[in-house]
Chains A and B, each alone.
Chain A
Amino acid sequence: MEQKIEPQELQLTKQDFESDQMVKWCPGCGDHAILKSVENVFPVVGQKMGYKKEDFVVVSGIGCSSRFPYYMNTYGIHGIHGRAAALAMGIKLTNPKLSVWMISGDGDSMAIGGNHFIHIARRNPDINYLMFNNKIYGLTKGQYSPTTPKGQKTKTSPQGTFETPFNPGELAIGARGKFFARVIDTNPKLMQKVFLEAALHHGASIVEILQNCVIYNNKIHALITGRDTKDDNQLILEAGEPMLFGKDKSKGIILEGTHLKAVTIGENGITKEDILVHDPTTEDTGIHMMLASMAPPELPAALGVIRSVKAETLEDAIWNSVEHEKEVSPYKNVDDLLNSGNTWEID
């Protein structure tokens, strides 16, 4: 049979990943900026890692963010609530050559899918896990989520929530995750840089995206993203660089006793040499955990790649075992197996 072969592009472009479907998020929703960043970064990922456009798979659970696969021109599955991590794992373990991206939200990942979140972190399949955190249930119209700050009034917490929220970074690292990063939807440059690093990291890369829900939780991240406040409230981490922040980078983070502390260079005898230098690659979770926990107003929120530690991936372990078993197994085919052990002949 004659087969029509599509000309293989030498270079992928953003257009290769744009869908013809109407994007139905609210105007002003942070998701639009995230979608653009992902569309921009896929061609780069393809080029750097040798993926063709059919090699990208985008899966999701349920929630506003989880409509994402429909808005990308890739292979995709819009799954069921909380279970995208399991979908992603099944795909990656079956075919490790695919670039698997998973989209989820704070309700999808931290509540109904909390179990899968911790297990994917420890199992470490090479999946890029983008978790949009707007600290509210959007699609069901405004109930509190497991990341909603304690005391916040929502439709299901008219007196304010009574619960302590999760910090996704603490959870990921506590579950022995090897890669955790945090970005904000208002900084596309940082998003693209971090998404690329997530893709290049061989293992489960969990990225928390601080995302704004204009309808039900507007300005929830305002301290970190506001024009006047952001300099003092965000620390953009760079591997090998001192943890400096503030306008003119005049502030920094030091370790005092067993705590992180924000200081100003030049005050109280503090010099640049006193400032902690970021090492995302260390196995030790101590400083990474403290960085993930930092929050305004006491400390700036840490952005960028907080932790990136090399480890064997789940699919490599499994497929190496398949190769090994093929060599050593006495069963070369299923007939061998059926005829193994105690058998007898009837004439």
Chain B
Amino acid sequence: MTTKKDKIVEIEEAVIRFAGDSGDGMQLTGNLFSDSTAFAGNDFATFPDYPSEIRAPQGTVSGVSGFQIHFGHKNIHTTGDLADVLVAMNPASLKANLKWVKKDAIIIVNSDEFTEKNLVKAGFENNPLEDNSLTGHLLIRGPLSTLTKEAVKELDLDNKSALKSKNMFALGIIYYLFNRDYTKTFPFFETKFKKNPLVVEANKKVLEAGYNYAETLEAFTNTYRIEKASLNKGRYRNVTGNLATAWGLLAASERSGRKIYLGSYPITPATDILQELSKHKQFACVTQQAEDEIAGVVSTIGGSFAGAMAVTTTSGPGLSLKSEAIGLAVMTELPMVIVDVQRGGPSTGLPTKSEQSDLMQALYGRNGEAPCIVMAATSAADAFYSAYEAAKLAMEHMTPVILLTDGSIGNGSEVFKIPKVADLPEINPPIAKANDPEYQAYKRDPKTLARQWAVAGTPGLRHRLGGLEKEDITGNVSQEPLNHQKMTDLRQAKVDKVADFIPPLEVEGDSKSDLLVVGWGGTHGVLLTAVEEMRAEGKSVSMVHFKHIMPLPKNVHEVFSGFKKIIVCENNMGQFANYLRMTHPEFKYEQYNKVQGLPFMVSELKTKFDTLLNE
């Protein structure tokens, strides 16, 4: 690398948005920049934003694929509101993303793509590069296609293949802008295109050309550097929420000594978990891609009866299909984890966008009185610990556990401090002992009210389970009225007792103040950022965030009592707020809701909180 001509400015944080046609390789570009950010020692979070079509019509707004990364010197909790830098590979991606950039953002466009035809496709009446509509931004108009072809002209590549690496030209420009060492990305090309040395060479050349182009361009007045983040000592990596979920489950399997049985059906955005676990047969992880969602969950109940740590993964519509079987798991009191990576609903809804609207379905979406544990992961990295805890609670309390994550968590990524499996809490399922003369199918441990897990094949414990109501203690089929009442009460009491085994709610900020911000699941980072910023401004705001929903932590009343106003923020129309109105009707709840397939923005939250404070 040559010495820089441009001035280097130290900044705290930045948001970059890569956008292009869905075939332009923007996800890869974003991921490579993330890796480079990790090497630079920054904290970061990423968020892919892509259409549900694999290849929507080229050049149209509906075919735009985006990838946003927020990185910085301080702890990063969100993927960022508005971008400081936008890379737009065609007019459509500029059109789709202009509303997501700051007023003074740097916008880098591939000017070769701004042809009359493409402008029409994108819905521009005038060429935005020429009509002054981008005034205020620092606009870099680079003929990226031409320059890419130029960079590889010495190689024996056809036009189409040459153009494939134009995303690396854009990445090279961004590397220059943020003072990254582009050679650190070379090993990736060497592995990825191992079988095609020409492509390795092309990508290297183009990336380098992009970097050098930015340097010689003299268009940037500054380049930027962000100091290493002040993260705790330890080994780190980048994880998406889906990967972390899969790994959390594997860790729970290893720690409990129970092989995994996973029965799942592919569904966006949950499929990654099935794919990841399918790779790890070496850990006795049996995965079955079932013929449908129902077979997935029902086979999981079979796996649990045979002693496996049983898991099924899905998204909203799939959870609907699994309802009846989850009822069977409630009735048979067999452990299993149901992961629901929530997406926009109802019905097929917004398959690739995130929402938190399956909460009521998770809590109550079954026939009869059918309580089970409901938990929600709070971030991509937390999905590891949430999945681990979901498996632990399921097995130790002999009940299905629904773990809610969402599309933002599942596909989003963040920095993850790598734990040691041995440091995770023990998992001790109540396995019934062979030939125990005292064994009865529905006899319970008074501490947890869990029955014992008598694994099929164990000598001396033969018994029958099923969907029909069972007699207390013996487990024989029973239609006796008072027994049904008792068993219904016991099933609820068993789930309620889990509250003895989960941590209390912790307040972020003062335990008494004017406003308490309440959230659950995947909105943790953005709510925390908004509250931290407001507290730094001297505002009387605190926050609690729920990870355990059924049962709730025991100290909800005590915590809520310290605040004048409570606002529940969620990406649905008020499901958790209504749940709190049922469980804790003694408080008044304000709501902030958003169902646009988009995460909350820090700015909009702060505006809302300010309004409440000033009322």
Q: Which A residues contact B (CB, under 8 angstroms)?
A: 1, 3-6, 21, 52-55, 57, 59, 62, 69-70, 72-80, 83, 85-95, 97-98, 115-116, 119, 318, 321-322, 324-326, 328-329, 331-335, 337-339, 341-347
Chain A residues with CB below 8 A from B460, complex form? 6, 54
Chain B residues with CB below 8 A from A325, complex form? 280-282
Partner among A54, A119, A328, A331 whose Cβ is within 8 Å of the Cβ of B462: A54
**Beta-carbon contact of A94 and B237 below 8 Å:** no
Chain B residues with CB below 8 A from A333, complex form? 254, 283, 421
Interface residues in B211-255 by Cβ distance below 8 A to A read 228, 231-238, 247, 250-251, 254
Chain-A contact segment, one of B67-75, B293-301, B443-451, B596-604:
B293-301
Known: A78-B465, A80-B325, A95-B456. A59 touches B302 (CB 8 A): yes
- Complex CA–CA separation, A57 to B476 (angstroms): 17
Chain B residues with CB below 8 A from A91, complex form? 302-303, 305-306, 456
**Beta-carbon contact of B466 and A79 below 8 Å:** yes
Known: A80-B328, A331-B280. A338 touches B459 (CB 8 A): no
Q: Which residue of B lies closest to A122 (CB)?
A: B291
- Complex CA–CA separation, A6 to B296 (angstroms): 37
What 4 pairs between A and B have smallest CB-CB spacing? A90-B302, A78-B466, A90-B299, A329-B282
User: Within 8 Å of chain A (Cβ to Cβ): is B433?
Assistant: yes
Partner among A78, A97, A334 whose Cβ is within 8 Å of the Cβ of B247: A334
Q: Which residue of B lies closest to A87 (CB)?
A: B302
Chain A residues with CB below 8 A from B305, complex form? 57, 75, 77, 87, 90-91
Known: A54-B459, A119-B295. A343 touches B41 (CB 8 A): no
Partner among B251, B434, B462 whose Cβ is within 8 Å of the Cβ of A75: B462
- Complex CA–CA separation, A321 to B280 (angstroms): 10
Partner among A4, A83, A326 whose Cβ is within 8 Å of the Cβ of B282: A326
Interface residues in B3-31 by Cβ distance below 8 A to A read none
Q: Which residue of B lies closest to A112 (CB)?
A: B294
**Beta-carbon contact of A93 and B467 below 8 Å:** no
- Complex CA–CA separation, A328 to B457 (angstroms): 30
- Complex CA–CA separation, A1 to B251 (angstroms): 30
In whole Å, how far is B432's beta carbon from the nearest beta carbon of chain A?
12
- Complex CA–CA separation, A1 to B437 (angstroms): 13
User: Within 8 Å of chain A (Cβ to Cβ): is B292?
Assistant: yes
Chain B residues with CB below 8 A from A346, complex form? 41, 228, 231-236
Partner among B281, B324, B437, B476 whose Cβ is within 8 Å of the Cβ of A322: B281
Q: Which residue of A lies closest to B334 (CB)?
A: A77
Chain B residues with CB below 8 A from A83, complex form? 294-295, 298, 325
**Beta-carbon contact of A98 and B306 below 8 Å:** yes
- Complex CA–CA separation, A97 to B457 (angstroms): 8
**Beta-carbon contact of A337 and B464 below 8 Å:** no
User: Within 8 Å of chain A (Cβ to Cβ): is B308?
Assistant: yes
User: Within 8 Å of chain A (Cβ to Cβ): is B307?
Assistant: yes
Give the size of the chain B interface in residues (CB under 8 angstroms): 74
Chain B residues with CB below 8 A from A119, complex form? 291, 295
A-B contact pairs, 10 of them (CB 8 A): A3-B435, A70-B466, A80-B467, A91-B305, A94-B261, A94-B307, A318-B286, A322-B284, A338-B247, A345-B236
Task: A74-B462, A78-B467 given; name 14 further pairs at CB < 8 Å.
Answer: A72-B464, A76-B463, A76-B464, A77-B466, A86-B302, A87-B299, A88-B302, A90-B288, A90-B304, A94-B307, A331-B280, A338-B247, A338-B419, A345-B234
**Beta-carbon contact of A341 and B302 below 8 Å:** no
Chain A residues with CB below 8 A from B307, complex form? 94-95
**Beta-carbon contact of A94 and B231 below 8 Å:** no
User: Within 8 Å of chain A (Cβ to Cβ): is B477?
Assistant: yes
User: Within 8 Å of chain A (Cβ to Cβ): is B139?
Assistant: no
Q: Which residue of B lies closest to A345 (CB)?
A: B235
Interface residues in B95-150 by Cβ distance below 8 A to A read none
**Beta-carbon contact of B435 and A6 below 8 Å:** yes
Chain A residues with CB below 8 A from B290, complex form? 86
Q: Which residue of B lies closest to A56 (CB)?
A: B462
Is chain B's interface secondary structure helix, strand, loop, or mixed overall? mixed
Partner among A93, A321, A331 whose Cβ is within 8 Å of the Cβ of B261: A93
User: Within 8 Å of chain A (Cβ to Cβ): is B369?
Assistant: no
In whole Å, how far is B401's beta carbon from the nearest beta carbon of chain A?
17
**Beta-carbon contact of A341 and B237 below 8 Å:** yes
Known: A21-B477, A79-B298, A98-B457. A90 touches B263 (CB 8 A): yes
- Complex CA–CA separation, A338 to B292 (angstroms): 31
- Complex CA–CA separation, A17 to B560 (angstroms): 57
Chain B residues with CB below 8 A from A57, complex form? 305-306, 456-457
Known: A55-B457, A344-B38. A94 touches B259 (CB 8 A): yes
Chain B residues with CB below 8 A from A338, complex form? 237, 247, 251, 418-419, 421
In whole Å, how far is B44's beta carbon from the nearest beta carbon of chain A?
12
**Beta-carbon contact of A334 and B283 below 8 Å:** yes
- Complex CA–CA separation, A53 to B457 (angstroms): 8
- Complex CA–CA separation, A119 to B459 (angstroms): 32
Chain A residues with CB below 8 A from B288, complex form? 89-90, 93
User: Within 8 Å of chain A (Cβ to Cβ): is B46?
Assistant: no
Contact with A along B417-449 (1 / 0, CB 8 A): 011110000000000011111000000000000
Chain B residues with CB below 8 A from A341, complex form? 237
**Beta-carbon contact of B35 and A342 below 8 Å:** yes
Q: Which residue of B lies closest to A69 (CB)?
A: B464
- Complex CA–CA separation, A92 to B261 (angstroms): 11
User: Within 8 Å of chain A (Cβ to Cβ): is B579?
Assistant: no
**Beta-carbon contact of B421 and A334 below 8 Å:** yes
Known: A75-B456, A94-B259. A343 touches B282 (CB 8 A): no
**Beta-carbon contact of B263 and A86 below 8 Å:** yes
In whole Å, how far is A288's beta carbon from the nearest beta carbon of chain B?
24
**Beta-carbon contact of B459 and A76 below 8 Å:** no
Interface centre among A86, A325, A339 (most CB of B within 10 A): A86
**Beta-carbon contact of B464 and A95 below 8 Å:** no
**Beta-carbon contact of B306 and A343 below 8 Å:** no
In whole Å, how far is B329's beta carbon from the nearest beta carbon of chain A?
10
- Complex CA–CA separation, A308 to B46 (angstroms): 55
- Complex CA–CA separation, A339 to B247 (angstroms): 11
**Beta-carbon contact of B435 and A5 below 8 Å:** yes
- Complex CA–CA separation, A337 to B324 (angstroms): 35
User: Within 8 Å of chain A (Cβ to Cβ): is B319?
Assistant: no
User: Within 8 Å of chain A (Cβ to Cβ): is B360?
Assistant: no
Known: A75-B462, A91-B305. A116 touches B286 (CB 8 A): no
In whole Å, how far is A5's beta carbon from the nearest beta carbon of chain B?
6
**Beta-carbon contact of B459 and A90 below 8 Å:** no
User: Within 8 Å of chain A (Cβ to Cβ): is B364?
Assistant: no
Chain B residues with CB below 8 A from A324, complex form? 281
User: Within 8 Å of chain A (Cβ to Cβ): is B394?
Assistant: no
- Complex CA–CA separation, A131 to B212 (angstroms): 72
**Beta-carbon contact of A79 and B284 below 8 Å:** no
**Beta-carbon contact of B250 and A334 below 8 Å:** yes
User: Within 8 Å of chain A (Cβ to Cβ): is B86?
Assistant: no
Q: Which residue of B lies closest to A94 (CB)?
A: B306
User: Within 8 Å of chain A (Cβ to Cβ): is B473?
Assistant: no
Partner among B237, B291, B456 whose Cβ is within 8 Å of the Cβ of A343: B237
Chain B residues with CB below 8 A from A80, complex form? 298, 324-325, 327-328, 467
